[in-house]
C-alpha cells in the first residue's frame, strides 16, 4: 500500500466519521452505505479506528455479489473482516443477500430488511470500475435503466462482464443520501473519471448519475 493511498483512506475515514457524528447529534441512528471491491479495505480499517457512537450506526452495502458470506467474493465478508472490528463491531450491519438461489428471488426480502433502516443515509461511499460502473450499475447490464430510474430500494442485476449476479441499491436510494464520496485509486480510474466528467449520459458511465449530488472525489495515484 503506497503512503498516498493510506493517507487517502485515513482522510476519507475522517470525513465519513465527521458526517456520521454530525447526523448523530440530531438523530438516534445514522446509516452508512459502503462499497465492496478491493479499494475500500484500508478505508474500512481507518474508519473502524475512529471514535464514534458505533452502537448508533447502521451499515449496509451499495451492492453485493450473490454468494455466501464465506466466499472470498463477498463484500459482506470484507465489511466484517475490516470494518466491524474493535469498537466498530457495535455497529449494526445489514447485508444485501438472502438465502434464495438468485438475487431476483431475494430482492423483495432484502428490500423489506432495508426498510427497517433510517433513510436517507448519512453517507454513501461509492467505488468505481474501469467501465465507469458504480455500485452494481453496470453500463452493459440489461437492468441498468431500471436501476437508474426505479423508486425501489434494490434491484437484482446481471452483467455480461461479471461472473456473479448482483444486488444493488438503486440510484434513487443512493442519491437520497446526505453526503456522497467516491473512493478511487490509480491512473486508469483517473482517466475513466476524467472521461466521464466530459458528458452526462449515465447509461454510458453510471458514475455520472452522482456527479450532481455533489460527489466528493477521493483519489490517489
Binding site for ligand 6PG (CB under 6 A): 35-39, 62-63, 65, 75, 127-129, 133-135
Cβ closest to ligand 6PG, residue 17 vs residue 182 = 182
Q: Give the chain's length.
A: 221
Spatial separation of the C-alpha atoms in residues 79 and 37, rounded to whole Å: 10
Spatial separation of the C-alpha atoms in residues 207 and 197, rounded to whole Å: 9
Q: CB of residue 39 vs ligand 6PG: minimum separation in angstroms?
A: 3
Task: Determine whether 92 is exposed, middle or buried from the number of CB atoms within 10 Å of its CB (0-12, 13-18, 19+).
Answer: middle
Residue with the three cell numbers 449494526: 92
Q: CB of residue 141 vs ligand 6PG: minimum separation in angstroms?
A: 12
Q: CB of residue 25 vs ligand 6PG: minimum separation in angstroms?
A: 29
Cβ closest to ligand 6PG, residue 135 vs residue 156 = 135
b vs e for 59-74, b when ≥16 Cβ sit within 10 Å of the residue's Cβ? Answer: bbbbbbbbbeeeeeeb
Spatial separation of the C-alpha atoms in residues 211 and 197, rounded to whole Å: 8
Cβ closest to ligand 6PG, residue 56 vs residue 175 = 175
Cβ closest to ligand 6PG, residue 84 vs residue 126 = 126
Q: CB of residue 143 vs ligand 6PG: minimum separation in angstroms?
A: 14
Cβ closest to ligand 6PG, residue 75 vs residue 97 = 75
Spatial separation of the C-alpha atoms in residues 110 and 64, rounded to whole Å: 11
Q: CB of residue 77 vs ligand 6PG: minimum separation in angstroms?
A: 11
Q: CB of residue 53 vs ligand 6PG: minimum separation in angstroms?
A: 26
C-alpha cell at 21: 457524528
Backbone torsion region of residue 37, taken as left when φ is above 0, otherwise alpha when ψ lies between -120 and 50, otherwise beta: left
The answer to whether 206 touches 138, Cβ cutoff 8 Å, is yes
Cβ closest to ligand 6PG, residue 7 vs residue 90 = 7
Amino acid at each position: 500500500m503506497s503512503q498516498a493511498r493510506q493517507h487517502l483512506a485515513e482522510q476519507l475515514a475522517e470525513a465519513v466519521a465527521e458526517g456520521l457524528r454530525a447526523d448523530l447529534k440530531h438523530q438516534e441512528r445514522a446509516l452508512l452505505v459502503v462499497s465492496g471491491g478491493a479499494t475500500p479495505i484500508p478505508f474500512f480499517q481507518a474508519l473502524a479506528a475512529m471514535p464514534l457512537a458505533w452502537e448508533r450506526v447502521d451499515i449496509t452495502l451499495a451492492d453485493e455479489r450473490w454468494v455466501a458470506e464465506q466466499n472470498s467474493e463477498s463484500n459482506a465478508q470484507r465489511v466484517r473482516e475490516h470494518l466491524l472490528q474493535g469498537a466498530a463491531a457495535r455497529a449494526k450491519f445489514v447485508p444485501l443477500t438472502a438465502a434464495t438461489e438468485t438475487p431476483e428471488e431475494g430482492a423483495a426480502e432484502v428490500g423489506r430488511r432495508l426498510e427497517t433502516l433510517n433513510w436517507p443515509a448519512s453517507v454513501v461511499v461509492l467505488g468505481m470500475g474501469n467501465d465507469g460502473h458504480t455500485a452494481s450499475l453496470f453500463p452493459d447490464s440489461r437492468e441498468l435503466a431500471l436501476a437508474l430510474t426505479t423508486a425501489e430500494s434494490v434491484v437484482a442485476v446481471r452483467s455480461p462482464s461479471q461472473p456473479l449476479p448482483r444486488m444493488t441499491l438503486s440510484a434513487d436510494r443512493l442519491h437520497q443520501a446526505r453526503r456522497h464520496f467516491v473512493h478511487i485509486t490509480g491512473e486508469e480510474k483517473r482517466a475513466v473519471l476524467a472521461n466521464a466528467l466530459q458528458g452526462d449520459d449515465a447509461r454510458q458511465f453510471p458514475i455520472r448519475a452522482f456527479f450532481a449530488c455533489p460527489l466528493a472525489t477521493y483519489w490517489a495515484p
